[in-house]
Structure 1
Amino acid sequence: METMHDHDHLASFADILAGELPGAWSTTHLSAEDRAELAALTDRVWDLDLFAETVSLYTVDHGACLTRTDDGVRLIVVDHYAEQEGFIVATIAPEEVPAEAFRGVREPDSVHVPDDPFLAARAVTTRLLPRYERALAQVRSNAAQLSRSQPDRVVLTWKPDGSLTTTAATSRVADLLAAHGFAHDEKSGTYRLSGEDTAAQAKSIREVGAQLARLGVGVVLQHPASSRTTPSPATVPAAAQRPSAGTPATRLR
């Protein structure tokens, strides 16, 4: 389906709109040659309403990204394909917060604005940006609470069959463990990593340790007979050594 506006028209509209919004904004124009970048942006649009419907029905082949220079807040402008007039301005979800922080937060969604950047700026300023600011504040508050409740370490315990077991204090840790081969036992609530393939097991431990380290969470290996645990440094080893019976906890190097 052909759109009402070509790339140049949308780009000019976005430039004027950016100049009319409160604060300082920069504009990035996205054409059909920027499909990968455009797809990455549309994937992060914070909208389950108008914009979500648009991308599910039409191919968005050009647009513009507006970025507020003082804090990195982003908006995206695309054609309103269904109406064949005006534009859709939508919000982009922040990338620096965990997905769990978005739970329970209502999306700021998007607005349909006329093909007049001055009237469009009024709609964005009075309707979209206030919703966006409220949602951002709630998400950042949730992220701060998650950070405070984040465990400072995850303990991996060797079992006689060579497997490793652990528990997850948060859903974020649980998702990370599951993504790296740890099977969840719903009855006990534990996560188990098989030791049948020692190379695959070591690889999973390295990857889990590296990702947890980026969250500020340490990894500890312990033998079930040992009451002592040794936290790993931030860098996870090339391989994990399985302790023999009666030896102290193995330290990840």
Structure 2
Amino acid sequence: MHDHHDASERLASYADVLAGELPDTWTSAHLPSNAKDDLAELAERIWDLDLVAAHLAEHPLTEAAVLSRPDGAQFAVLNRHDSRESFLIAALAPHALPDEAFRAVPEPNGIALGDDPFLGAEQIAGDLLARYDRALAQTRHNALAGIRSSEPDRVVLTWQLDGSIATVPADDRASAVLTAHGFVQDPPSGLYRLSGDDTQAQARALRAIGPRLDALGIRTALQHPAGRSAPTAAPTSPPPVPAASRSQAVRSR
């Protein structure tokens, strides 16, 4: 217990220093071993097919520190099991974007860091951070391109695998209508998203926004994956859950 406690303290302290030394503004949060749900979700978002992925294949994630930037960028800092005094850092995939946004985007694979967090911050700033920012920019561009219509007076509502619906409003008038009917904007991506947690509420919102947008001269279109149908007032079953995680479905290309 004492050794494990010491390792956790080192990880948390190391991540705190990294957060203060990286360019821009970063915060650090420690996920201890008892935060099992958060750690499981974090492991699914590790954006890596190289060093960190190989490490996690042998050593399941039991704790981590998460560095976060206000625009949604995040890193996971992990202890290395082959050396008590060194760490791994990996980029985290943004969870607000559809799987298709990640296709053809190279993974910003993580790197190993020594025990000096000041040197570690220099390594990150000089290599990983730039690759991560490029990958983030590309995925966000892909997400917007996949949803935005080329017609200025048209809103394309795109059904996501998690049951939510995402769109990019044609203008401020459309934004106001969407917001009034439960759509919430995700600032990092620019997408407006309607949750699928309550399918009846989702169906009512979809029926309501069509006439309101049409009155403004803005047409609507609904895109959904094969096998999906538009929600009804009395759905017979809940929205399907993806059979594979983003990391499995998208990265194995």
Q: TM-score range by the shorter chain?
A: 0.5 to 0.7
Deviation, structure 1 residue 235: 7.1
Contact 2:98–2:160 at 8 Å: present in 1 too? Answer: no
Measure the CA separation in 2 of the matches of 1:176 and 1:5: 39
- 1:15-56: per-residue Cα shift (whole Å, max 9, x none)? 111110111111111111112111211110111111111111
Deviation, structure 1 residue 97: 1.2
Superposition misfits of 4+ residues, deviation over 2 angstroms = 2-5, 82-85, 148-154, 172-177, 216-219
Could you tell me which residue of structure 1 aligns to residue 80 of structure 2? 80
Structure 2: gaps (5+ residues): 164-198, 210-219, 224-229, 237-253
Could you tell me which residue of structure 1 aligns to residue 246 of structure 2? none
Structure with the bigger RCO (C-alpha within 8 Å, sep 6+) is: 2
Deviation, structure 1 residue 62: 1.5
Q: Give the letter for the 2:14 counterpart.
A: F
Could you tell me which residue of structure 1 aligns to residue 233 of structure 2? 237
Could you tell me which residue of structure 1 aligns to residue 40 of structure 2? 39
Measure the CA separation in 1 of the matches of 2:123 and 2:24: 15
Could you tell me which residue of structure 2 aligns to residue 22 of structure 1? 23
What is the root-mean-square deviation in Å for CA atoms of aligned residues?
3.6
Deviation, structure 1 residue 148: 2.4
Q: Give the letter for the 2:234 counterpart.
A: A
TM-score by length of 2: 0.60
Contact 2:7–2:84 at 8 Å: present in 1 too? Answer: no
Measure the CA separation in 2 of the matches of 1:44 and 1:22: 23
Q: Give the letter for the 2:132 counterpart.
A: Y
TM-score by length of 1: 0.60
Larger radius of gyration: 1
How many residues are aligned here?
177
Deviation, structure 1 residue 217: 4.8
Contact 1:3–1:84 at 8 Å: present in 2 too? Answer: no
Could you tell me which residue of structure 1 aligns to residue 100 of structure 2? 100
What SS class does the counterpart of residue 6 from structure 1 fall into? helix
- Cα distance change of structure 1 residues 39 and 21 upon mapping to structure 2, 3 Å threshold: same
Contact 2:148–2:156 at 8 Å: present in 1 too? Answer: no
- Cα distance change of structure 1 residues 91 and 72 upon mapping to structure 2, 3 Å threshold: same
Measure the CA separation in 2 of the matches of 1:174 and 1:65: 26
What SS class does the counterpart of residue 32 from structure 1 fall into? coil
Measure the CA separation in 1 of the matches of 2:79 and 2:124: 15
Q: Give the letter for the 1:138 counterpart.
A: Q
Q: Percent identity, aligned pairs only?
A: 38
What SS class does the counterpart of residue 9 from structure 1 fall into? helix
- Cα distance change of structure 1 residues 125 and 153 upon mapping to structure 2, 3 Å threshold: closer
Measure the CA separation in 1 of the matches of 2:135 and 2:110: 13
- Cα distance change of structure 1 residues 148 and 84 upon mapping to structure 2, 3 Å threshold: same
Q: Give the letter for the 1:26 counterpart.
A: T
Contact 2:52–2:88 at 8 Å: present in 1 too? Answer: yes
What SS class does the counterpart of residue 124 from structure 2 fall into? helix
Contact 2:159–2:222 at 8 Å: present in 1 too? Answer: no
Could you tell me which residue of structure 2 aligns to residue 228 of structure 1? none
Could you tell me which residue of structure 2 aligns to residue 163 of structure 1? none
